[in-house]
Amino acid sequence: MEDWTKAESAKAEGNKFFQEGKYAKALAAYSMAIELSEDDDGLDSLDGVSKSKNPSVQIYYANRAFCHIKMENFGSALVDATKAIEAKEDFPKGWYRRGTAQMALGRPKEALRDFMQLCKLAPNDKDARDKLKQCQKQVNAEKFAKAIGCEKTKPISETVNVEQMPVDASYTGPVYVSGACTSDFCQQLMEHQRKELVIAKKFAYQIVLDMIEMLKTSSTLVDIEVPDMGEVTVCGDVHGQFYDLLNIFSLNGIPSEQNPYLFNGDFVDRGSFSVEVILTLFAWKLAYPNHLHLARGNHETRNMNKLYGFEGEVTKKYDEDLYQLFCEAFCLLPLCHVINQQVFVVHGGLFSKDDVSLESIRKVNRDCEPPDEGLMTEMLWSDPQPGRGRAPSKRGVGVAFGQDVTENFLKVNNLKMVIRSHEMKEEGYEIEHDGKLVTVFSAPNYCDQMGNKGAFIRLDGKTMTPKYKSFAHVPHPNVRPMQYANPMLGQLMGMA
C-alpha cells in the first residue's frame, strides 16, 4: 500500500511536469511510478510473466508513452504503449498511444489495427473514431500513391508551367527573377514575409524549381573550404520558427561570401512559419550557392511533413503541387558536409557499424525517401549516448552511439570532431564525447513551450575551434506551433 501511494504521488508529479511542458522530468516521474509498481518477486508463478501489484501501472506506461511521443522518441513510445496494453488489454489509451507511435514511425497499417481495437473499446468516443478515419484515409492514400507510382508519372518539376501562372495586379511584394537571385531580393523577401505576407505563387514555384536544378549538381557529401582568415557559422534545427531565423541573421549578419552559413537540417515542421523559413533559405542558397549550405534533416521527408505540419502549411498557403516540388528538392539535399577536411557535420549522427568511410558516404544515393535502415537513415536519425557502445534508438529509427563509435569514425577518416543537431538542448548546444561531438539546436523556446535557448557555432578557418553563441527566442505573430499538423498528433486523449 505504501508503494502504491508513492507511485500515485510520482504519477501526479509527472502529470504536473507534463502540463508545464517539462517532458524529461515528467518521464522520470512516470518511470519512478513504474519502478514502485514492480512486483517484489517479479514473476507470476503460473506463466513467468512479470506482474505488478499496482492496478494503475497501465496508466503510468501510457503516460510515459505520451511523454516519449512529445519528445519524438517513437520507438520508446511503442514499447511503453505495448506494456500498457499487456498490463490491461481493455485500456483504451494504451491502444491510442501505440497507434499514434505506429503512425509516427510510418506504419499506418499497424496503426490501423490499433485504432480499430481502440474503437471497439470506446465505440462512443468521437475522437477515437476520427483517428480511425484519418488512419484509414492515409492507408488508402498510400495504396493509391503506390498504384499511380507504377505508372511512372513524371515529377511535378517536369510538368508544371510557371509561365502561365498569373501574378495579381495588386501584388506589391518582391519579384523573383529566375537565375538572378540577389542579396537585395533575399532581404526584401524576408521583410515581406515578416509582415505575414506571402510571395506570389509564381515566384514561390520558380524559387523551388531553380533550387531543384541547383541541387541536382550537388552531392551526398559536400566539402566546404573556409580560408584561414575566414569563419563559417553552423546552425541546427530551425523548425519553422521564422522570426527566430530572422534573429539569427540580426545577431550574426546576413549570409554573404564573407559570412557563410551551414544550416544542418530540420528547417520545417512543428513551427507554423515553415514556408517562410524554407523559401528564405532557398533564396539565400540561390544567391550564394557556395556560401550558404543546406543539409537534409529527418523532417525534410514526406512521412514527417504529413504529421508535423509542413504539408498542411504549404497546401494551405499555396497548393499541393508546390508541396510536391518541395519534396523533390528535399530528396536532392546533401546529407552531410565536411569543413576544411576536419569537421564532419550531419543532422542526426553516426552508424550501426564501425569503419564507415567518407568515400562510402559519398556513394549513398540520396535522391529518395529514407529507407528503413542503412547509412542514410542513420545520418538523419541517430543520436549520441553517454558511455560507450551502441544501443537501440529511443526514436525507433537509427541508433544510439557512444564515445568509442565517435572516436572510431574520426580516426578512420582523419577528422577532428562531429557537429550534429536533431535534439533540443537547454543552452542550444551541448558538448559530448570528450569534446569530440557537439549538438547544436537553433530553435529557442521550441514549440513555444520548452523554454530552451537556441545556439549557433562559429568555426575559424585556421584552427576550426568552435565558438558558441546562445540566444533567446523573440516574439512572433499569434499563430500557434503545429497549427497545420496532422490531427493524429492532437490531444491524444489527455493524461490519466
Domain ranges for the chain: 2-148, 162-487
User: 408-452, pLDDT tens digit by residue?
Assistant: 999 999 999 999 999 999 999 999 999 999 999 999 999 998 899
The per-residue pLDDT for 1 is: 57
Question: Whole-prediction pTM value?
Answer: 0.90
pLDDT at 490 over 70: no
Instruction: Give the pairing type, strands 343-346 and 417-420.
Output: parallel
**Partners of 471 in beta bridges:** 454
299 is catalytic: yes
Q: Residue 54 corresponds to which cell in the numbers above?
A: 499496482
**Partners of 263 in beta bridges:** 235, 294
CA distance 300 to 267: 8
User: 375-387, pLDDT tens digit by residue?
Assistant: 999 999 999 999 9
Decide if domain 2-148 falls under CATH 3.90.320.10.
Answer: no
CA distance 421 to 402: 16
Instruction: Give the pairing type, strands 336-339 and 221-224.
Output: parallel
The per-residue pLDDT for 105 is: 87
DSSP H helices in 337-445: 358-362, 375-381, 403-412
Given a contact cutoff of 8 angstroms between Cβ atoms, the answer to whether 234 and 468 are in contact is no
User: 337-384, pLDDT tens digit by residue?
Assistant: 999 999 999 999 999 999 999 999 999 999 999 998 999 999 999 999
Q: Give me the amino acid identity at 33.
A: A
Rg (CA), the chain: 23
Instruction: Give the pairing type, strands 466-471 and 437-440.
Output: unpaired
Q: Residue 486 corresponds to which cell in the numbers above?
A: 496532422
Given a contact cutoff of 8 angstroms between Cβ atoms, the answer to whether 415 and 346 are in contact is no
Of 299, 337, 422, 473, which one is the catalytic site residue? 299
For the structural domain made of 162-487, what CATH number should be given?
Answer: 3.60.21.10
CA distance 81 to 71: 15
Read off the pLDDT band of 150 (50, 70, 90): low
